[in-house]
């Protein structure tokens, strides 16, 4: 689906048609000057469109309250069986699981 040309695009189209007509009359000796003028006009239009374009805000990398609650619930759900498995390995494994769960929740709360 194409959008109708904007007034600036119409101006550039007219300029390009005039440039092509002048090239036909004057020959190819002025091609560099015609191209430079066209590039300047297109660059000015692009800069103007960028300056007037609405700014898109980047999504926040922070978790919402609902997401933090979900992380806490999941850490409990997965932590219980991991804790049970870690008890067979002794205190170092239990401390590792507890530390892992605590760190996950700590980073999720930031």
Domain ranges within the chain, ordered by starting residue:
7-52, 65-109
Supply the pLDDT for residue 6: 60
Supply the pLDDT for residue 1: 46
Which 3 state secondary structure label does DSSP give 5? coil
Task: Please tell me the pTM assigned to this model.
Answer: 0.44
Q: How far apart are CA 4 and CA 23, in angstroms?
A: 28
Q: How far apart are CA 94 and CA 108, in angstroms?
A: 21
Supply the pLDDT for residue 74: 92
Supply the pLDDT for residue 70: 92
Closest to 86 (Cα-Cα) out of 73, 97, 71, 74: 97
H-helix or E-strand containing 3? none
**Residue located via tokens 């007037």:** 52
**Residue located via tokens 């390009």:** 16
pLDDT by residue for the chain (110 residues), tens digit each?
Answer: 445 546 667 777 887 788 788 878 887 777 788 778 778 888 888 888 888 888 877 777 788 888 889 999 999 899 889 989 988 988 999 999 999 999 998 988 87
On the 0-12 / 13-18 / 19+ scale of CB atoms within 10 A, 57 is: exposed
On whether the CB atoms of residues 63 and 71 are closer than 8 A, the answer is yes
Q: Which two tokens stand for residue 26?
A: 């004057």
């Amino acid at each position: 689906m194409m959008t109708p040309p904007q007034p600036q695009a119409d101006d550039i189209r007219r300029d390009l048609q005039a440039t092509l007509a002048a090239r036909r009359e004057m020959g190819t000796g002025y091609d560099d000057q015609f191209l430079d003028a066209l590039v300047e006009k297109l660059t000015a239009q692009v800069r103007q469109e960028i300056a007037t374009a609405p700014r898109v805000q980047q999504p926040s990398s922070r978790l919402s309250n609902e997401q933090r609650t979900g992380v806490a619930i999941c850490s409990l759900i997965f932590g219980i069986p991991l804790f049970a498995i870690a008890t067979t390995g002794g205190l170092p494994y239990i401390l590792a699981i507890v530390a892992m769960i605590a760190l996950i929740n700590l980073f999720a709360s930031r």
